[in-house]
Structures are given as C-alpha cells and as structure tokens.
C-alpha cells in the first residue's frame, strides 16, 4: 500500500478518536455514539468528496479546451510529458497569483490556477507552476493534502462552534465551560494535524519533479519569486477564512496574521529557489530567477502589469 494511503488512514482514525473523545467529554455515552456516527460520515466524505469541497470552497470553475484553449492546452502538454491521465482543469477567480492540485488519485485529480496567476505570469512561468502541481499528483501527495485540509477545517469549525454553544445538550453553564476549554485546544490541534500530515519536503520534491517535467527549473524559480511578492500584497480571502487549506497552494496564501502562522507548512521560498538554481546548473540551464522578472511598478496589480503583454506574455 502506498505510504500516502497509510498516512490518510491514520488521519481518518485520528479524527474518529478526537470526535469520540469530544463526544464523551461533552455528552457522555450518548455523545460518544453520536460523535462516532458523525466521524464515520466525515471519514467517508473526506475520502471521496474532499477534493470537490475544496474546489467549491474557492469558487473554482472548470474549464475546457474550448473555454480556455491556451491554459487547458498548456496543462494537456505537460500531462503528456509527465505521463499522467488528464486531470480536470479549473480556474478560481482570485486576484492573488497561486495554484493547487487536489484529488484522491492520478485518475481522479484536478489542477486549479487563479486568475491572478494567469494574468501575472508568463507562459513559461505558468508552465513551471502547473508542472509542480502535476508532480504532486504524480507523487500521490494530493490525497493526504486534501484530506488533511478537510479534517483540519472540520476541527477548526468544531472549535468555533464550541466557543458559542454546548454539544449534545447537558448543563448549559458547565457545558459552555467545557466547550470553551475544548475550543482552546482544538484550534492549534487542527494546525498540528495538518503539519504532521503534510511534510515540507513534499514541496522540494514537487519542485524537482516539476522542473524535470517542464525541462527548465528557472521557469518555476521565476514564478515562485513573483508569486511570493504578490502574495504579501494581495490577500486571499477564502484562504484566510479556511487556513487549514493553505498547504494545498504552491506558495502560502496567508498574510501571516493571527492564527495563520500555526498553519505554516511551506518551506522558505528563497531556499526553494536556491535548490532550483542548483538543479538548473546540473541540467546546464543558465540564469537566475530574477533574470526572468520584468520591472514592476510599485503597487501594480497583476492585471495592470499584464495589460500590455497579452494573455501569456
């Protein structure tokens, strides 16, 4: 059995234990039974439908060769190079340049790029980003990543719920105290769950494999440098509302305020670029990430920067 399937099974078992324990704490034996039923339902949903939930959470719209010929055609070309089944291709209407992949297997997968990414990056840079996402699919990272996002989000929502009400009835005042105490523990635990499930090394591995797929590590290095700059300027409202999904993206979409730092699962971008530059040297590709970047007007949005360059630069 692939290691990611084992890791996913452990995540689902851990969720069941957490919910049953919470049910016992707040509702006694009846609470345990109800929590166990809820956990089973969540486990089934997380395994089969977590990718759909994440795509809906970000308002992603599926595109085809007819509706987005250049973007879809680029993914199609990279898929052939990666020797993968064709994933579903999505666009999320978000000004922050970013992208992610999801799905329980290569034959049931999807890639999604933001409108900000398609507007801000050149065709080569978009190719580097999408090759990285296809590498996650090829490495079978997406199942664990998506289930971790779903479960982390579910625990965070439970923590928020417990701040305002009691579960399964019981003494209101006493239950409220228990709920408040549990909420304080659950929010950071959700972050810990995500971090345990998602190793930072997976990003380096996807960077490396994606570079081999696209044939030029510097395209991805340039894209990472550009996305990192924009990510600090342009907030991703959906990601801020669901920080447990942040690890899905190629660059951390969070601003780093409040609870955001708890969900930090990305390695340092400068370190990733340095590794890509080493790989480029090994492959005989010249240049540095900065040499691919165009001069930027301070405060310019991706759309403003790209308006004079056409759809792909």
Q: Check: CB of residue 247 under 8 Å from CB of residue 196.
A: no
Burial class of residue 131, CB neighbours in 10 A (0-12, 13-18, 19+): buried
Ranges of the chain whose pLDDT falls below 50: 1, 166-173, 175, 258-261, 290-313
d(CA 78, CA 127): 8
Q: What are the structural domain ranges in the chain?
A: 3-55+144-197, 60-142+200-293+302-306
Q: Check: CB of residue 182 under 8 Å from CB of residue 196.
A: no
d(CA 245, CA 257): 16
What are the E-state strand segments in the chain? Answer: 61-63, 88-92, 99-105, 108-114
Q: Check: CB of residue 71 under 8 Å from CB of residue 118.
A: yes
Residue 101 token pair: 């992949």
Residue 133 catalytic? yes
d(CA 40, CA 195): 23
Neighbours of 257 (CB within 10 A): 9
User: In this predicted model, what pLDDT tens digit does every residue of 245-255 receive, in sequence order?
Assistant: 888 899 989 87
pLDDT of amino acid 127: 96
The CATH number of 60-142+200-293+302-306 is: 3.30.2010.10
Single out the catalytic residue among 119, 125, 133, 275: 133
User: In this predicted model, what pLDDT tens digit does every residue of 289-310 receive, in sequence order?
Assistant: 544 433 333 344 444 444 333 3
Q: Strand 88-92 to strand 99-105: parallel, antiparallel, or no bridges (unpaired)?
A: unpaired
d(CA 152, CA 18): 12
């Amino acid at each position: 059995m692939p290691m990611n399937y084992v890791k996913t099974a452990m995540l689902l078992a851990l969720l069941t234990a957490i919910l049953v324990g919470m049910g016992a704490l707040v509702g006694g034996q009846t609470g345990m039974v109800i929590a166990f039923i809820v956990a089973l339902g969540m486990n089934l949903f997380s395994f089969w439908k977590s990718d759909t939930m994440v795509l809906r959470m970000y308002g992603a719209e599926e595109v085809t060769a007819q509706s987005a010929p250049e973007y879809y055609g680029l993914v199609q070309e990279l898929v052939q190079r990666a020797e993968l089944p064709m994933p579903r291709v999505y666009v999320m209407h978000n000004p922050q340049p970013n992208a992610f992949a999801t799905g329980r297997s290569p034959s049931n997968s999807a890639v999604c790029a933001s409108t900000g990414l398609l507007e801000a990056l050149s065709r080569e840079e978009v190719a580097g980003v999408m090759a990285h996402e296809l590498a996650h699919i090829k490495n079978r990272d997406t199942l664990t990543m998506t289930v971790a996002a779903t479960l982390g989000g579910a625990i965070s929502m439970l923590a928020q719920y417990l701040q305002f009400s009691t579960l399964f009835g019981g003494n209101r005042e006493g239950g409220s105290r228990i709920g408040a105490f549990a909420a304080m523990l659950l929010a950071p635990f959700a972050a810990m769950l995500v971090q345990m499930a998602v190793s930072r090394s997976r990003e380096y591995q996807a960077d490396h494999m994606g570079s081999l797929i696209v044939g030029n590590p510097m395209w991805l290095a340039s894209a990472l440098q550009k996305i990192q700059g924009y990510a600090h300027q342009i907030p991703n409202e959906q990601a801020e509302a669901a920080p447990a999904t942040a690890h899905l993206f190629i660059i951390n979409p969070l601003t780093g305020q409040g609870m955001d730092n708890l969900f930090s699962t990305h390695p340092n971008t400068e370190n990733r670029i340095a590794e890509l530059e080493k790989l480029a040297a090994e492959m005989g590709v010249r240049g540095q990430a900065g040499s691919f970047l165009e001069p930027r007007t301070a405060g310019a949005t991706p759309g403003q920067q790209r308006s004079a360059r056409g759809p792909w630069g």
